[in-house]
Amino acid sequence: MELQEFKTKVLPLKDRLYRIAIHMLKSVEEAEDALQDVMVRLWDKREQLKEYRSVEAFAVTVTKNRCLDKLKSKKHKFHLDVQELEMDSGFESPYKKLELSESMKVMVRAFQELPEQQRLLITLRDLEGFSYEEIAEQTGLQINNIRVGLSRARKAAREAYLKVADYEQQ
């Protein structure tokens, strides 16, 4: 794959990959960082890209792995402090530009606080609208497990949302 082809086939995926990274990493800087890494990695692998059925699925897989790695090393560094740090630094910072309503902020926060696996599934399906087959290719999970995971994640997000929303209405 030459630079020209890379520009037309891989680069247009950047917004989508960036969103996945930002939902997973919850930080603009880290997401930009991850996106750079992913693009360089994809460029390095440009010869192999042809062999993949879908360049996009491969790009999403690389992004997902990069994010999980980053999260893992972060966990090792900070351990349990991470959650407190996130609270302090304000959860909405990556979404500040979007000017969300108060109740939508509660929803986004509920989504943000899901465990990373559930966040990943919601991101791929509910936010990016991938099919089950595509998600299976991207994550290596079986379709049945994806459905179960999604069901749990959606219910958990709603529960967390209602908890805060109810509290605020009282």
Helix (H, G, I), strand (E, B) or coil at 101: coil
Q: Shortest gap between Cβ of 5 and another protein (angstroms)?
A: 13
φ and ψ of 38, to 5 deg: -65, -45
Structure tokens at 30: 């880290």
Q: Does 61 bind another protein (CB under 8 A)?
A: yes
Least gap, CB of 17 to another protein (angstroms)? 8
CA–CA dist 35, 40 (Å, integer)? 9
Residues 77-116 contacting another protein, CB under 8 A = 95, 97-98, 100, 103-104, 106-108, 111, 115-116
Buried b (16+ CB within 10 A) or exposed e, 83-93: eeeeeeeeeee
- What does the block give as tokens for 7? 């520009």
Q: Which parts of this chain interact with another protein (CB under 8 A)?
A: 3, 11, 14-15, 17-19, 22-23, 28, 32, 35-36, 39-40, 43-44, 61, 64-65, 68, 72, 95, 97-98, 100, 103-104, 106-108, 111, 115-117, 126-129, 131, 139-142, 145-151, 154-155, 157-158, 161-162, 165
